[in-house]
Amino acid sequence: MLGQGFVSAAVVAASVLFVLSLGGLSNQEKAKRAVWYGIFGMLFAVFFTAAGPGIGHYWIMLPMMVIGAVIGVKLARSVVMTQMPQLIAALHSFVGLAAVFVGLNAEMERASVMAARHAQESMAQFSAFAALVATKTPDELLFLQIEVVLGVFIGAVTFTGSIIAYGKLAGKVDGKARQLPGGHRLNAAALVASLVFAIMYLQGAGIWTLLLIALLAFFIGYHLIMGIGGADMPVVVSMLNSYSGWAAAAIGFTLSNDLLIVTGALVGSSGAILSYMMCKAMNRKFINVILGGFGAKPQTVTHIEGEQLAIDAAGVAAALNAADSVILVPGYGMAVAQAQTSVSELTRKLRAQGKQVRFAIHPVAGRLPGHMNVLLAEAKVPYDLVLEMDEINAYFPNTDVVIVIGSNDIVNPSAEDDPDSPIAGMPVLEVWHAKQVFVSKRGQGTGYSGIENPLFYKENTRMLYGDAKSSIEQLIPLLKG
């Protein structure tokens, strides 16, 4: 068992590594090193926490750590990139449930200490946490109870919210925004009831009030995320990431664990900042996300005149051979088809012909921020070809050919032209300004949001139907050189 000095030093070291990891993830070239910073930071955190003072029951803890590590390795090897968003949502749920369990256990320990004090019994038989509780003044115990309430409430909201987010991302739950009769009034009533039970708990009513708070928070988490449309899940996952961080920070205060406090605050604040940035990128109000109103706007059914005109691979290849500039717009369809390697080969061949090739990345392309960037980096696409929406939109009017690969909502002109559209005001990639647009798509269905896309009916747009990977692979041998 290590002394508190070693543990305090490890807290500082792990915190620095976590900060370096978060900072490095903002840059594609530094991201791999940033991941290693995070790995070593977590190793420091786990080892020095487990070996710190007051920790025991290793015969239970070590087997559980081994089991968890084995499950983690198995998941890492089996989960493909298209499943990463729902995996992240599922992992958030574990953090939330852990916060609930820690909070309930802390209250049981506190109640045992209070009972022993009242009976003037020895506290030698109690756990290290109970011994810590026994040293607290009445004011400090009140703050402990507040921390417990916050940890249980935020953790419970995070747990059920993350489960529903997982279900929507995995296609196991209907992606449409749905709420029970009463809508947001039910959430408000549950929140008020939670506050009433919290006051009762702080006044000594007992652990049953905490259990009721947890049940109400479970409902709030479920109902909030059910009321959010599936197309908005990337923002929701980021928001739940923030919630899980604050839940971890709350239980860190409860356990007097500095590392949990620092790490939880880092995760909570970075998740909140990312959610805000994504809301701004999609022209949404941040407060609507927090209140579960995100995506709840009723959808209007718009009939689009005209028809979608199909083209074959030979026609697209002819246009590419004649073009001087090409922009590729990857989306979730590229990820599902695992077409990134084929897209990289297409890029290499076009550049070998002396053509200017760029990639246009929307902030919420795919199912989580950076999804497309990771796939393109994995396929060895040069970083300097990958441009964000704010940079690339100015180039579309002077571009000969745009190829949209499995994207839909992020290239939908309704965001600018139709004020009644559910995505009205959302910044999009303005691909329709290019001379020719080819859309690689499986069929004529709508995108993840269920909204029709007028782009597919425009005069300068042609549809290349079929699996994205096979469609791109058909183009490659037809290119010159």
Q: The pTM is what?
A: 0.79
What is the CATH number that goes with domain 313-478? Answer: 3.40.50.1220
Q: Which residue has the tokens 């441009």?
A: 387
d(CA 374, CA 372): 5
Q: In the structure, what pLDDT confidence band is assigned to residue 433 with cuts at 50, 70 and 90?
A: very high
Alpha helices, H only, 227-312: 233-255, 258-281, 286-290
174 is catalytic: no
Residue scoring higher pLDDT (10 or 477): 477
Phi/psi at 339 (nearest 5 deg)?
Answer: -95, 5
d(CA 478, CA 481): 9
Residue scoring higher pLDDT (233 or 324): 324
- For 273, other C-beta atoms within 10 Å of its C-beta total 12
Give the tens place of pLDDT for each residue, 227-265: 877 667 777 888 888 888 988 898 888 888 888 888 889
Give the tens place of pLDDT for each residue, 27-81: 667 778 888 999 999 888 888 888 777 677 788 888 998 998 899 888 888 877 6
Q: DSSP assignment, residue 55?
A: -
d(CA 276, CA 239): 9
What is the per-residue burial (b if ≥16 Cβ within 10 Å, else e) of 219-258?
A: bbbbbbbbbbbbbbbbbbbbbbbbbbbbbbbbbbbbbebb
d(CA 274, CA 25): 12
Domain boundaries, the chain: 1-78, 80-290, 313-478
**Catalytic annotation, pick one of 174, 258, 409, 467:** 409
Give the tens place of pLDDT for each residue, 140-161: 888 888 989 999 999 999 999 9
> With contact defined as beta carbons under 8 Å apart, do 453 and 447 qualify?
yes
